[in-house]
Structure 1
Amino acid sequence: MPELVDANPLTLWRAYVPQWSYLPLSGEGSARFGGRWNPVGVPTIYAARELSSAWAEYNQGFVQHPALIAQLELKGARLIDTTEPDVLREWGIHEGIHQSEWRSDLDNGAVPSTHVAHQRFVKAGVDGVMYPSFMSPGGSCVALWRWNVAGGPVLGIVDPEGRLPTSPASWRKS
C-alpha cells in the first residue's frame, strides 16, 4: 500500500466551469469525457498545487474562458508522486508518460499509457497521482480518483463565508 505523501493537509487549487459552482467536488465532467489520468466512466478531480497552474491547465493555453477558482484541502490521500523519477522507476513507468498524447491515443483506439498506469495504481489502493503540469512548467497537479468515501481521503472546499451556491438555482437560462 502506498504511503501518504504527507500527513499534513494538501492545499490544491481547482479551476472549473462557473455553471457548476454548486458542485466544486464533483468529478462527473471527467467521468463523462475521460481525462489524462482517468478513462471515461471514472469520476476524477483534477486540481493543481499552485493557483497559476490551475488557471493554465484549465485554459490549456487557448482562449481564456471564464472560470471559478476554488481552494481545496485534501487529507489522508495515498498519492503516487510521478514528478519523482525514482517513483516512476519503482513502478516501472517510463518518464515519457508525462508527454504522452493521451487524446490522440484514444482517437486512434489505443489505451493511453496514463490509463494503464491508472489501472495499476487503483489495484494497488492508490487514491490519486501527482504529476507535472503540462501547461505550467515547474507546476504540479493532482488527479484524485477516490475521495469522501468511507475509509478514503477527505477532500473539502475552502469556503469560510459560504459564498458558493448549493444548488443550480443561481443560474438562470438566458
Structure 2
Amino acid sequence: MDFEGEVFRAIALKHAKDPLSMKGARLMGGRFNPIGTPVLYTSLNRETVLAETNQLGLKPPPTVLFCYTVRIKRVLDLTVSDPVDVLAGATLQALKDCPYRAHIDRGEVVLTHVFADAARAAGYSALKIPSFAPRARLKPEEGGPMVNMVLFESALQPPNSVFCHDPEDWVGTYLGDKGYRG
C-alpha cells in the first residue's frame, strides 16, 4: 500500500536540531533496526507518540513533538494483515513478544530485525504496525488502535517524501542553525 498523511515523532530537546535525523536509532538499534541501520520511528497520532516515549513510566527529558507530512510508496501494512501472510516466519505476536533489546545487548540475531530486513529487501520503504507500548490501545472499541510508522532510509528518498512542519523556523531560531531538510 501507499501512505500519504501526517506522522508524529517526539525528540529529546538536546537532539531536536535535526528532526529528520536517524542517528539515535542507528547508534542504539531498536525493535526494527539493528545497530548501524538508520530508521525513523514515528506514530500516526500524538497520543501514540506519548505512549511510545514513556513505556517505562519514567519522567521524560524535555522533549519536542514534531509533525511530518509524508508520502511513501510501498508501505507494509501490518494493521490489516499478519506478517506471516506477507513475509513468512513471523507473526505479529512474535514481533511484539521479541525481547529485542536483550538480544541487541548480547549481540544475538533479533527476529524483528530479520523481519525488517526482509521487508526492505522486498522493496518496502516503511512498516505500518500496531503500537506494542504497554499502554497502547489495540481495539477500535477502545477509541481506535494506536499505530506506528517505521520509516526506512528509502522513505526519505524520491519518489517518497518526508516534510517536517516548522513554518516559523522555531528549530533554527531556538535551537541553532537549521540543520534539517524541511
Is the pair's TM-score, using the shorter chain for normalization, greater than 0.5? yes
How many angstroms does 1:27 deviate by? Answer: 0.6
Q: Gaps (5+ residues) in structure 2? A: 138-144, 178-182
In angstroms, what is the RMSD of aligned CA positions?
2.0
- Aligned equivalent of 1:130: 128
Equivalent position to 2:81, from 85, 98, 116: 85
1:163 equivalent in alignment to 2:170: yes
1:72-109 deviation digits (Å, cap 9, x = unpaired): 11113321112223454232232221221111222333
Runs ≥4 residues deviating over 6 A: none
How many residue pairs match? The answer is 164
1:169 and 1:85 mapped to 2: Cα distance? 43
Structure 1: which 5+ residue stretches go unaligned? none
In structure 1, what is the Cα distance between the partners aligned to 2:71 and 2:169? 21
- Aligned position for 2:180: none
Cα distance in 1, alignment partners of residues 19 and 49 from structure 2: 14
2:91 aligned residue: 94
Corresponding position: 1:116 with 2:114 = yes
- Residue identity over aligned pairs, in percent, reads 24
Aligned equivalent of 1:39, options 34, 43, 59: 34
How many Å apart are 1:154 and its aligned residue? 0.6
Report what 2:147 is aligned to: 140
> Distance between the aligned counterparts of 1:20 and 1:63, measured in 2?
19
CA–CA distance in 2 between the matches of 1:32 and 1:109? 14
Q: Please report the TM-score for the alignment, with normalisation by the length of structure 2.
A: 0.81
The CA distance in 1 between the partners of 2:66 and 2:165, in whole Å, is: 7
Cα drift, residue 127 of structure 1: 0.8
